[in-house]
Structure 1
């Protein structure tokens, strides 16, 4: 399972397609896959020399970030949040082995500012709410981000390692995509209007599936432009991108698509303007082919859904009537959270109280879709401070270190995702942390002849 990204990319792609086929045929294998991957990465982190630990930790986190939704939809993890907890564990091991940068202290403050909301929740959560599980559900994502940011802040990482991290994110999403195709080969058989479609999403939540497939689209796009030196690799990666894009589109959940598009555009803009004039011409040609592939994928999606996907993105119902709310209720949820902040501006209403209120009032276990609204409502003024840390600190770091080509793409994916899906998966937390690394260019050592 030791990946050679230079020579064995095709074999790795085929291996992960095969994993999707096997686990679809016999789903209990997902548990074995989860345990094998967990022990493999733990052993690698422990056994590799100190100089290689940063790389192994990032690769382990990348793999479980990409595999999180697959383990959830196949019930392969030991718990629903297993992948997120493993990312926290791997990052904690990294901090133990490699320490943290003193300049990353705002993320210590960020984690400490989470504590008062737990204390408030101990008094505000209803008697019927499970205190431990509710707190863990809403804070596992923010804690994952904090631990990842502490470890990654100003951590020196080579360009090759960063691209390998991208590969480790992509591979398990290939497995997820394969499983979804097998679960629902024909989207025409499960069409039910323009609402988000769980049957077309591997039987799991369309919002989370679209988000992880959107991450796969972003990872595949990076490989197309940065790691496809041959025509064969360009074609292979374009096929992977198109396959993920199609399945993401037909979930009928738009957030993951928008996040992917924003991140890809941010990457391509920086990549183009930083390239030399001669290279820019090649990039323009690649962009043209890239957008042709996306357009063809959209046309196939439109045909396969009898035009319903066009109506979905035009904010219409199946009969072509315009819907009153473009955000499918998310603005109303956000306004409710703002009201919680206005009524409790100092310490907020307590961790997980937003969801608890909806259960009491409507009987609906609907969690927050917007992390910014949740932070303000549940943490009060401290939530405002948390938001400022999360936005200002990476921009401040970028002003002093411009080596990370993917900085704005990572930050854009994080921000877009937390505004439509909150922190329910590890992806936005991990990609946020990747925006804080110090990317170094490998320079070959000079060997001088001795006289």
Structure 2
């Protein structure tokens, strides 16, 4: 609706090309998939995320918003995540009953995928951190933001899915790095002071989470099992999926194996019906060179745009969220694509003139 009502930049046609590059893989899938596979469902499942990313990117590319509008967007992110966190506390009020190992925990994730739950809670943690550092409200408001952040961080850690939490941390560090570089001396001093307070809160949250999980949280992030033995594979099987998908790309370099076909191949070869965790390896395996060019467009276009436009204070936070999330959780949720598109926005920091500024001197 936004594209139809407000149009889009001509430069965003690069993302139209990206979407078109995904089409050949559909025809390959139709001709190659087995009769037992629901082709329509397989295509929709694997392309809904990449196509939604393309549409969002077309709309957002070089579009200008104000800083206040961006704050409203971030606030809109946060509200449903507070509701989600409330649901998690109601679903599993006592974590000690359900956390008995160092594996990702569905019960602590409200019955949803721990990877996806940790990813969206990581967004909430980032938004609250941004509010904490940018808000000029008093100590009560900042304290409330830290309290909410503590609740979201506690439940994110309780999923025992590391990817979403680590991604949230990278987003916060990226934001603070840009904010510090752009700030004046007064702003830099303020960031340093607030960082000390923020770091203290994070340490407290970690200690409380560790106590509530009987120390299993520390073992999880140290890549150990419940007995304290180090696990052989820190990627929990993702490296095997990655290797297989790159192997299929080498065997089918031009058109790939077809949309959704990689899951069928994996089932036939290993007997395991596992979907890919990595969007980069999946897109090249299923689309071949077309997928390689499509992913290159996603990877490079924002960086080129960033060279000429450095107004988006959240650019690297949004960009890294997309890049890290699609490499540990693929595009099973819409968040990576939508947030990727936000990195393509141009943000203005102009404020409305005050009444004193509006008054012109009488000649």
Give the TM-score category using the shorter length: over 0.9
Q: TM-score, normalised by structure 1?
A: 0.78
Query: 2 CA distance for matches of 1:355 and 1:294?
Result: 39
**Structure-to-structure mapping, 1:347-362, within 5 angstroms:** 347-362=255-270
**Structure-to-structure mapping, 1:292-441, within 5 angstroms:** 292-441=200-349
* Cα shift at 1:363: 4.3
Name the structure 2 match of 1:180.
88
Query: 1 CA distance for matches of 2:109 and 2:253?
Result: 39
Query: 2 CA distance for matches of 1:273 and 1:441?
Result: 16
Q: Which has the higher contact order (CA 8 A, sep 6+)?
A: 2
Name the structure 1 match of 2:113.
205
* Cα shift at 1:411: 0.3
Quick one: which of 179, 182, 187 aligns to 1:271? 179
Q: Secondary structure at the match of 1:436?
A: coil
Q: Secondary structure at the match of 2:159?
A: coil
Name the structure 2 match of 1:5.
none
Name the structure 2 match of 1:129.
37
Query: 2 CA distance for matches of 1:266 and 1:329?
Result: 28
* Cα shift at 1:415: 0.6
Give structure 2 stretches of 5+ with no counterpart. Answer: none
Q: Secondary structure at the match of 1:380?
A: helix
Name the structure 1 match of 2:28.
120
Q: TM-score, normalised by structure 2?
A: 0.96
Query: 1 CA distance for matches of 2:156 and 2:346?
Result: 32
* Cα shift at 1:192: 2.3
Query: 2 CA distance for matches of 1:132 and 1:382?
Result: 21
| CA displacement 1:333-371 (0-9 Å, x = unmatched) | 000110110000001111111122233344433211001
**Structure-to-structure mapping, 1:276-287, within 5 angstroms:** 276-287=184-195
**RMSD between aligned alpha carbons?**
1.4
Query: Quick check: 1:148 aligned with 2:51?
Result: no
Name the structure 2 match of 1:102.
10
Name the structure 2 match of 1:26.
none
* Cα shift at 1:127: 1.2
* Cα shift at 1:438: 1.2
Name the structure 2 match of 1:111.
19
Quick one: which of 99, 106, 131 aligns to 1:223? 131
Give structure 1 stretches of 5+ with no counterpart. Answer: 1-92
